[in-house]
Amino acid sequence: MSDTSKKYNSVMLIDDNEIDNLINQKMIEAADITKYIYTHTGAKSAIEFLKNIEKIEELADSILPDIIFLDIDMPLMDGFQFLDEFGKLSEETRKKCSIVMLTSSINPQDVHKSKKYNVKQYINKPLSQDNLAKLEI
């Protein structure tokens, strides 16, 4: 498959569980939907990464991820705290990066709460080829 046929330029995985990140990364690679995959084991480092990238306007469009797969239950900064910080980023960044909750949480409150943010989809872990094929972003 040539690079031009990939749906997305880059995606980002944010999950404190490195095994989950690895499994999800392999699923995304197998689906062949993106050129680049960034992984972060903490929401804080992911926000710092996004803040730094958006400062460099000429790079922002090519580096900012098209999709951010976000876990909810993480230490230090959870998925919802990440979304609060994400909401403070520039409008361009918020438009470019679509958020998909990727979590083991089946708590209806989490699903409901994620709808208050601009979360495009809510997927239960682990990612599957089926989930990726059905992404509507």
pLDDT of 1 over the 70 cut: no
Q: Report the residue count for the chain.
A: 137
Burial of 127 (0-12, 13-18, 19+ CB in 10 A): buried
Using an 8 Å Cβ cutoff, are 9 and 66 in contact? yes
In sequence order, the 6+-apart residues with CB closer than 8 A to the CB of 102 are 13, 15, 24, 69, 70, 71, 123, 125, 127
- Give residue-wise pLDDT tens across range 78-101: 999 999 999 999 999 999 999 999
* Span 58-64, average pLDDT: 90
Give the domains, in start order, of the chain with CATH numbers: 3-132 (3.40.50.2300)
pLDDT tens by residue, 100-109: 999 999 999 9
* CA angle, 115 then 16 then 42, to 5°: 80
Answer yes or no: is pLDDT of 50 > 90: yes
- pTM, full prediction: 0.94
| pLDDT, position 4 | 53
